[in-house]
Amino acid sequence: MNSQPAHAAPPLLYFRSRALPLTAATLACVALVAAWAAHWLQDQPYFDHTARVPVVVLAPLLVSAAIGTSLHSHTDELDRTAASRWWPRRLLHLLALTAAAAGALAAAVPGHPEAYGVPAMVRNVLGATGVAAASAALLGARLSWLPMTVYGGAVYLAAPRTPGGAAAVWAWPMQPGPQGAAWAVAVTAYVAGAALLVVRGARPERG
């Protein structure tokens, strides 16, 4: 009679220990602010859809920080000593939040998909979340927001105005949607970060 509760306990423990409802609420708030900012910027005189670049760059940074921080566990020792395998839950955790963030932010920038619209937003969510996942595995979930924030801020300030070329690789968050090289970097970052997180889990933290 006790086998069913014991089997059901690990998933419940996993989701409770990572405060996923708070993370979901954060993603929703970021999406709402991004939608408002995107429309406000585009409605300004002498601006077009390229005015949404700050939203396309900064909103994925915020959601990736929320997702990375949610990978922190308050029951790390219990997680590692549990009989159940945790990697499927880590993978589901990351995929579900990535899909939710990408879908919500894609809805924030309708129209002009060929430039700074849905493709660019989804690409940046994937790339930024992949970096956050790798950072959680290497540095810990509490610091997972830091590498991508520093890199994204530097790229935002240093990227050339003309897209393409070598900048499509090192400044991928600033590229329009159709840039294949930028997509390759972002997808690689997501796959590598997800694999590292799933295999290793978030780095244990003290305090």
Instruction: Tell me, yes or no, if the pTM score tops 0.85.
Output: yes
- pLDDT of 75 above 80: no
pLDDT of the residue at 104: 96
∠ CA 65-61-91, nearest 5°, is 50
Tell me: the pLDDT tens digits for 138-195? 999 999 999 999 999 999 999 998 888 999 999 999 999 889 999 999 999 999 999 9
| pLDDT of 27 | 96
pLDDT bracket for residue 87 (50, 70, 90): confident
Q: What is the percentage of the chain residues whose pLDDT exceeds 90?
A: 61
Pick 8 or 201 by higher pLDDT.
201
Asked which of 115-119, 122-126, 142-146, 203-207 is least confident by mean pLDDT, the reply is 203-207
Output b/e per residue, 73-99; b: 16+ Cβ within 10 A: beebeebeeeeeebeebbeebbeebbe
What is d(CA 55, CA 58) in angstroms, rounded to the nearest whole number?
A: 5
What confidence score (pLDDT) does residue 88 get? 86
Give the pLDDT confidence score for residue 77 in this predicted structure. 54
Which residues make Cβ contacts (< 8 Å) with residue 39, sequence separation at least 6?
Answer: none
